[in-house]
Amino acid sequence: MAGSVLQLLNSVLHTEHSHNYFYSFLLLASATACASIALVAWKRRKKGPLASTTALFMFATSWWGLTYAIHWFNIPGLDYLFWLDASYLGVVLVPATFLVFAIRFTGAGDWITKKKLILLAIEPVATLIILWTDNLHNLFFAGMRMENSTSILCGGPWFWVNALYSYSLIFVAVVIIIRFAFNTRGVYRKQAAIILFGAMIPWLSSIVSVMDISPVSDLDLTPFGFTLTGIAFAYALFRLNLLNIVPVARDALVEIMSDGFFVVDLRNCVVDINLAAQKFLGISKASIGKNAEYLFRNTPDLVRLYRSREEGDFEFFTEFYGQRHLHMQIVPLYDNRKQRTGRLFIFRDITERKIGEIEIQKANKLLQEQLYEIKLLQTELRRQAIRDPLTDLYNRRYLEEFLEEEVARAEREGTPLSILMLDIDHFKSFNDTHGHRAGDAVLKGLGELMRSKTRSQGDIACRYGGEEFVIVLTDTTLCHAAVRAEQFRSGFEKMNISVGGVNLSATLSVGVATFPEHGTSSESVLHIADNALYKAKEMGRNRVVTA
């Protein structure tokens, strides 16, 4: 039925004496409606960038309808195609401004920068230039334009570039608004639905016209669709408070936010407080207008900070709403003239974080204690690995590592290194006569003597095996080593070791050798010292023999 009505209108309006005034008046009505919305939005531009964007978008739609109406009037004396080409200013502005509107409407206005707006404007500006200079290059119409054209619904390569670009912008804007509608509720969803309805009608009309499936031939239906766009935006503007969406969203956010806040004026009276702060501080909405210091008298830390600090970040403890740790930020407030108007106090519950910090501190303390115990154990294991358990002297394993390094150092630095090989005389007979307990006491006594008479830096005393011992004397010549060996021998001979109330004694035989005089490696010097020890035993024991 709609198709038959449009066909009837088409036949009536294309009579011999008709100047298509009916089309023109419909377009003028659409342009007037859109211009009215643009004017209202522009007057409210101080409410935020959404108002100015709405005004620009509706101005573009109004311009499109107005210029197309003038074109259809076909006023004598006016260039018939001038106003048709002029309508393209609205054609190229509508998709770009609608995309910017969608972004700002959904709260993503920070994405819009001056650089991005310039990039967004490149294609529309290029389209206008190419359209208005088509007679020079034929890129826009490609020779398809008829002399009495009443619309621009087809053309050359740049016409389709512009069509693709425009429909892409509108598609992106529609997707943004649809996603916003699915993720919001209440009045915001209604606003999104009304805006989508208003935007889809001219978009679908444009597709119908460009695809040449309209029942009214050679007529661009898009500007007529803007009548519904204007009605939809008027409804969203006046009934759903479209341009007040940011303040409304802020109020909703303040009431559901988990962080608490309150505001005091210069008289220290509470002028605003949200639900979270009421719970944290144990006060009610009725606190507005009352003295803040009096209200917070049960929270001494807060009162102290309130009195002494104008701004900053602090932490305090409160027993209201459970025992809670709170982080507080104090922010001074100023008006447009930079005059102080009060202070904003923002609270955040950090109890869980504090509990976590305490648990972490406990865990760290326990870990440190465990690490200390492990270090002690490692030290003990290291000591056991390199010490003889009976005499507490170094063992043979450590001797081999140390001697290898010291010989290499002595070779690099050209310094002497001497080795004393000691053996307790007749130790087996001593053990058989006095018992192993007495033998162990003699070994311990010799160990104590060796530790007391070796230098703490450089020298080491080791139990080589059984009753054999080795002393390494760094930076020591053969002559000095022989003197030191005699000190060990005589000192041990004079020792009285008490075992079971009986004083016992024993003697030592000592062999002395020096690097590099008696060998070029640790093994060879140790072997020469051992040979000197056996020579001392052959010579009657209890003596020192140098290699």
For residue range 350-360, list pLDDT tens digits in order: 877 878 878 88
Spatial CB neighbours of 462, under 8 Å, sequence gap ≥ 6: 388, 393, 394, 395, 396, 398, 399, 469, 470, 471, 472
Listed by start position, the domains of the chain span 2-245, 257-349, 396-546
Contacts of 237 (CB under 8 A, 6+ apart): 37, 40, 41, 54, 243
**Is the per-residue pLDDT at 472 higher than 90?**
yes
Q: Which of 176, 122, 130, 178 minimizes the C-alpha distance to 155?
A: 130
Phi first, then psi: give them for residue 274, nearest 5 degrees. Answer: -100, 175
Lowest mean pLDDT among 301-310, 342-351, 444-453: 301-310
DSSP secondary structure code for residue 291 in this structure:
B
Q: Give yes or no for residue 486 having a pLDDT over 80.
A: yes
Q: Which residue has the higher pLDDT, 393 or 19?
A: 393
Q: Which residue has the higher pLDDT, 238 or 126?
A: 126
Higher-pLDDT residue of 523, 293: 523
Superfamily of domain 396-546: Reverse transcriptase/Diguanylate cyclase domain (3.30.70.270)
Q: Does position 18 have pLDDT exceeding 50, yes or no?
A: no
The helix (run of H) or strand (run of E) holding residue 472 is: strand 468-474
Q: What does CATH list as the number for 2-245?
A: 1.20.1070
Segment among 20-34, 64-78, 199-213, 417-431 with least mean pLDDT: 199-213
CB distance 547 to 529 below 8 Å: yes
| Average predicted confidence (pLDDT) for the chain | 79
CATH 2.60.40.10 fits 257-349, yes or no: no
Q: Which of 30-34, 250-254, 292-296, 461-465 has the highest mean pLDDT?
A: 461-465
On the question of pLDDT at 55 being above 50, the answer is yes
Q: Do domains 257-349 and 396-546 have the same CATH topology?
A: no
